[in-house]
């Protein structure tokens, strides 16, 4: 997300495109014409000499507003990336989660994912985008952009432009808003993996609305909201402009595509939900094996495919940084998949399909905050570490602590997100192949300090605490009002029939 001097040089070149003589030529012609007219006019015609002076004093015609210029390649790339992220949720996440539950809860899992996506999509349009991406407060935006007011057209009737991460480069703000909508939708849907197979559908929807409003939106604002590169024109402005950004942006936290906003945020909410909702009936005593690993493998593959839009699309431009994010997403994911695969093979005796696809998802999670900041070597290390650590989290930590995170939302997303976020601060170092950190957006010179690691740790801790508090308060309120769990009889029958009156398979 940080750009090199190329954008600044390009802007400078554009500014030099009209040479000085191009402006001087009309002036010289005017002087010459005036001299000719003065020589030809009779001496007694003095009053006529006032005419050229009056013409010169006449105000120039008011310049007409011009529409913003959008690079068609960038717009096309962002349209594709947005569709890719939608594919991650529907059908990617739906099939990945659906295949891992028991057959009697397959339809329920699919319905939860689809319904959450639609619900959050509407709320994003109504107020979500405005709260996340407007204002000057450190934690929340304003309601000035409710119903995407001013996001589609500007005051001149042109499509509204919003900045990318290069000076002078813009995309339609409506495109950015829809792209970010897909992030919000999948984040809330991720949490469902923790409470799968036992939570009331009514409680699922209410919790989704409250958590989206009080946890996702402020985290997105804290991490990703800032004035944009074009606002930074002199060093004197840096501090005042930084003060209008989100809190974690002000701290200098790096999160390219959502390690804190998406994965830690959702994973911690999943852990809290698993604890407060409670274990599934028969957990640890009866078999709860996935009913269709074929479906889960298809879902995981679609997630990997769509994740290229998630990560590389977060660059907002089709340039070298998008390529870097794309490549890191490919290599880190492969490294994590194989790391989990072999760890399981060594410690449990057999490598499993569920293991390698879970490892791949862990790698996708881990590289998300780092993908545009680290080099290929850093991506491989992040992938390997995430694969092994997430395997231990799922296979052993969950048993030791005794919580029932049904589809491992915490073990994969929170743990992988924490690893990726912290290691971003390590491998962004140019000496380790990273792109470096920009101290300001005026000089555009990259540097690095080991203090970045502690900034990343602080961002992680804030994400954990914020999500945990919002989740716990919301779930406890629901527990003592509408209730969280279906009855034991309904759980035994399966949520497909009990909650939706349908079956996935007839």
A 10 A CB-CB count for 320 gives 14
pLDDT of residue 440: 80
Residue 443, domain member (yes or no): yes
**pLDDT above 60 (res 30):** no
pLDDT higher at 445 or 217: 217
Secondary element (H or E) of residue 438: strand 437-438
Quick one: CA dihedral 315, 320, 325, 330, positive or negative?
Answer: positive
pLDDT of residue 20: 31
The whole-angstrom separation of Cα 165 and Cα 259 is 19
Specify whether the CB–CB gap between 261 and 183 falls below 8 A.
Answer: yes
- Matching residue, tokens 């984040």: 187
Residue 20, domain member (yes or no): no
pLDDT of residue 441: 87
Closest CA to 456 of 424, 434, 415: 424
Tens of pLDDT, residue by residue over 282-313, are 999 999 999 999 999 999 999 999 999 999 99
The whole-angstrom separation of Cα 17 and Cα 63 is 20
Q: What is the largest CA-CA distance in the chain?
A: 116
The whole-angstrom separation of Cα 68 and Cα 157 is 11
**Confidence band (pLDDT; 50, 70, 90) for 220?**
very high
Mean pLDDT confidence for 478-485: 97
The whole-angstrom separation of Cα 327 and Cα 147 is 36
pLDDT of residue 59: 54
Mean pLDDT confidence for 261-280: 98
Mean pLDDT confidence for 415-427: 98
Residue 425, domain member (yes or no): yes
pLDDT higher at 251 or 33: 251
Mean pLDDT confidence for 191-201: 98
Specify whether the CB–CB gap between 360 and 304 falls below 8 A.
Answer: yes
| φ, ψ dihedrals at 502, nearest 5° | -140, 170
Specify whether the CB–CB gap between 263 and 366 falls below 8 A.
Answer: no
Question: Which token pair is 348?
Answer: 């449990």
Specify whether the CB–CB gap between 419 and 460 falls below 8 A.
Answer: no
Closest CA to 211 of 406, 486, 409: 409
The whole-angstrom separation of Cα 257 and Cα 311 is 5
pLDDT of residue 432: 97
**Confidence band (pLDDT; 50, 70, 90) for 48?**
very low
pLDDT of residue 92: 98
* Residues 112-140: b if buried by 16+ CB within 10 A, e if exposed: bbebbbebbbebbbebbbbbbbbbebbbb
Quick one: CA dihedral 155, 156, 160, 161, positive or negative?
Answer: negative
**pLDDT above 70 (res 268):** yes
Mean pLDDT confidence for 181-210: 98
Tens of pLDDT, residue by residue over 7-24, are 333 333 333 333 332 333
**pLDDT above 80 (res 240):** yes
Residue 297, domain member (yes or no): yes
Cα of 254 vs its chain's centroid, Å: 12
Residue 147, domain member (yes or no): yes
Tens of pLDDT, residue by residue over 105-145, are 999 999 999 999 999 999 999 999 999 999 999 999 999 99
**Confidence band (pLDDT; 50, 70, 90) for 442?**
confident
Please report, for the domain that includes residue 217, its CATH number. 1.10.3430.10
Q: pLDDT exceeding 70 applies to what percent of the chain?
A: 88
pLDDT of residue 438: 85
* Domain of residue 391, residue span: 72-500
pLDDT of residue 61: 64
Quick one: CA dihedral 81, 86, 92, 97, positive or negative?
Answer: positive
- Matching residue, tokens 């850093």: 378
pLDDT of residue 91: 97
pLDDT of residue 34: 36
**What's the whole-number average pLDDT of the chain?**
90
Residue 66, domain member (yes or no): no
pLDDT of residue 213: 98
Residue 5, domain member (yes or no): no
Reduced 3-state DSSP string for 100-139: HCCHHHHHHHHHHHHHHHHHHHHHHHHHHHHHHCCCCCCC
Number of domains, the chain: 1
pLDDT of residue 411: 97
Tens of pLDDT, residue by residue over 144-190, are 999 999 999 999 999 999 999 999 999 999 999 999 999 999 999 99
């Amino acid at each position: 997300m940080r750009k090199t001097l190329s954008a600044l040089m390009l802007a400078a070149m554009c500014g030099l495109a009209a040479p000085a003589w191009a402006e001087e030529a009309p002036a010289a012609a005017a002087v010459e014409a005036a001299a000719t007219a003065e020589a030809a006019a009779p001496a007694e015609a003095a009053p006529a000499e006032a005419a050229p002076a009056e013409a010169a004093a006449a105000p120039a015609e008011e310049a007409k507003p011009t529409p913003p210029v959008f690079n068609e390649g960038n717009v096309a790339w962002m349209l594709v990336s947005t569709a890719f992220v939608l594919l991650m949720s529907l059908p990617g996440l739906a099939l990945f989660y659906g295949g891992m539950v028991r057959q009697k809860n397959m339809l329920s899992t699919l319905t939860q994912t689809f319904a959450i996506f639609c619900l959050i999509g509407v709320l994003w349009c109504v107020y979500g985008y405005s709260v996340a991406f407007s204002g000057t407060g450190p934690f929340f935006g304003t309601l000035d952009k409710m119903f995407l007011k001013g996001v589609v057209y500007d005051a001149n009737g042109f499509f509204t432009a919003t900045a990318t991460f290069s000076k002078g480069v813009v995309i339609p703000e409506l495109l950015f808003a829809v792209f970010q909508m897909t992030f919000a939708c999948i984040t809330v849907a991720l949490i469902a993996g923790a409470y799968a197979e036992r939570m009331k559908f009514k409680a699922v929807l209410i919790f989704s609305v409250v958590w989206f409003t009080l946890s996702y939106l402020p985290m997105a604002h804290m991490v990703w909201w800032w004035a944009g590169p074009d606002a930074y024109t002199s060093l004197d402005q840096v501090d005042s402009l930084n003060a209008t950004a989100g809190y974690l942006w002000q701290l200098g936290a790096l999160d390219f595509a959502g390690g804190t906003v998406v994965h830690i945020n959702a994973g911690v909410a999943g852990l809290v939900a698993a604890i407060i909702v409670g274990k599934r009936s028969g957990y640890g005593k009866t078999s709860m094996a996935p009913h269709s690993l074929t479906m889960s493998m298809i879902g995981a593959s679609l997630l990997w495919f769509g994740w290229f839009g998630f990560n590389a699309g977060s660059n907002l431009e089709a340039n070298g940084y998008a390529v870097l994010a794309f490549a890191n997403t490919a290599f880190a994911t492969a490294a994590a998949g194989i790391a989990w695969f072999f760890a399981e093979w060594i410690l449990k005796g057999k490598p499993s399909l569920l293991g390698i696809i879970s490892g791949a998802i862990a790698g996708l999670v881990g590289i998300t905050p780092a993908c545009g900041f680290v080099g290929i070597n850093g991506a491989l290390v992040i992938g390997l570490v995430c694969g092994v650590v997430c395997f231990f989290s799922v296979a052993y930590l969950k048993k030791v602590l005794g919580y029932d995170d049904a589809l491992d939302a915490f073990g994969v997303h929170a743990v992988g997100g924490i690893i990726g976020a912290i290691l971003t601060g390590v491998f962004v170092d140019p000496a380790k192949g990273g792109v470096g950190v920009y101290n300001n957006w005026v000089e555009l010179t990259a540097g690095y300090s080991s203090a970045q690691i502690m900034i990343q740790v602080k961002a992680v801790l804030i994400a954990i605490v914020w999500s945990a508090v919002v989740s716990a308060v919301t779930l406890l309120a629901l527990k003592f009002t509408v209730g969280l769990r279906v009855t034991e009889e309904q759980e035994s029958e399966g949520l497909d029939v009990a909650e939706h009156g349908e079956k996935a398979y007839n």
